[in-house]
Amino acid sequence: MEMGKEIRRLRQDRGLTQEGLAAALNVTAQTVSKWECGNSVPDVQMLPQIAVYFGVSIDQLFAMTPEQQMDRIENRIYDRGLFDEAEQRQLEAQLRAFGEKPELKGQAELLLAKLYNNQAEQYRLLAVEHGKTAVEETKGDSDAISELCNAWGSYIPDWNMRNHHALIEWLSEYCQKNPENRAAIMWLLDNLIDDRRLTEAKNWLGKLAAIDSTFRTPMYRYLIALAEGKGEADERLKELEALEDDWCLSLVLGDIYTQRQEYDKAVDLYKKGLALQASPKFTDGAMCIAHIREIQGDKAGAVEAYREVLRLMREEWGIVGGEGREAVERAIRRLQ
């Protein structure tokens, strides 16, 4: 019914008769009439043709609201690998059209960022595969190794290439204007610590402490102490561990102990975090365990952890397909 109403509205907006639309689509006027009355719907194979004729998305033919259409686009981004050029252009055009409406601009811009990040990640994965082949075929050419390492997100020893000063300056300005935005301050702290700009990090930690009463403030005290290397890190870690149980804190502690190479303790913390979570439970802890088991050379343990990831996807989130699930399945096949 809703699709029929939308086809009628689009036809009338163009000043077309049912006969005119029927001729354009190579169907009978009676067929168009049945669509518009809700007595039948177009064959699924005709939907792209109808959408192209009216210059709209297929989603719009279903009379979905812009919010519903954007939700569907987001799901497609998460479920897909690399979009081909035509599909990417179609999504870009659709999102830019939504972005012309002030009330939708923020969400539309966010989805454009997610779309481009998805494409960048998929191209990065392609670069990894071609880079590995290039290293093998060129018998270890240094340029090929460099491209492979860049594609794989390697540590870069060159400070000029590694530093985050542009992002830090942007985030600093944003946080000065929005001092209550905890997430932005945390990202700023992460990058300041990574660049060892610890005096600035301490200043921003004070601003975070003024608005945050969670484990995150002592977590950053530990990270700054660790970066300073002055022997205070262990004491700060004890303060962090003494806090009340929280699933997110357990994952943070798991990350810390992973970096300390205390892998068994890290695994226990990741499992604890998973147990403490309310449904729907995230897959992060199980994925971390899989990575640790691979580092330890325990292929069977890694496969077990990856299967736990698949179970969580299915039972907690209802995910039974898509690129995310396929990537985990590829990891299992690689290890078996």
Task: Find the range with the poorest average confidence among 3-7, 164-168, 245-249.
Answer: 3-7
Same domain, 260 and 335: yes
28 and 103 assigned to the same domain: no
Domain total in the chain: 4
Residue 139: which pLDDT band, with cuts at 50, 70 and 90? very high
The residues, any chain, with a CB within 8 Å of residue 221's CB and separated by 6 or more, are 205, 236, 239
Residue 24 has pLDDT above 70, yes or no: yes
Q: Note whether 102 and 131 are same-domain residues.
A: yes
CB contact at 8 A, 43 and 6: no
Question: What's 298's domain CATH number?
Answer: 1.25.40.10
Domain end marker among 243, 271, 294 = 243
What CATH code is carried by the domain that includes residue 25? 1.10.260.40
Name the pTM for this structure: 0.81
Question: Tell me, what DSSP letter sits at residue 321?
Answer: S
pLDDT value, residue 183: 97
pLDDT, tens digit, 9 for 90 and up, residues 181-209: 999 999 999 999 999 999 999 999 999 99
% of residues, the chain, pLDDT over 90:
72
pLDDT at 1: 57
Closest CA to 217 of 168, 253, 182: 182
Token pair, residue 26, equals 């190579």
Q: What is the pLDDT of residue 13?
A: 85
**Is 129 in the same domain as 184?**
no
324 within 8 A of 313, measured Cβ to Cβ? yes
Domain region containing 227: 155-243
253 with 334, same domain? yes
| Residue 313 pLDDT class (50, 70, 90 cuts) | very high
Q: What is the pLDDT of residue 215?
A: 96
Q: Is residue 94 within 8 Å of residue 57, measured between CB atoms?
A: yes
Establish if 226 belongs to a structural domain. yes
Is 235 within a domain? yes
From 243, 275, 303, the end of a domain falls on 243
Q: What is the pLDDT of residue 76?
A: 84
243, 269, 296 - which closes a domain: 243
Residue 24 lies in a domain: yes
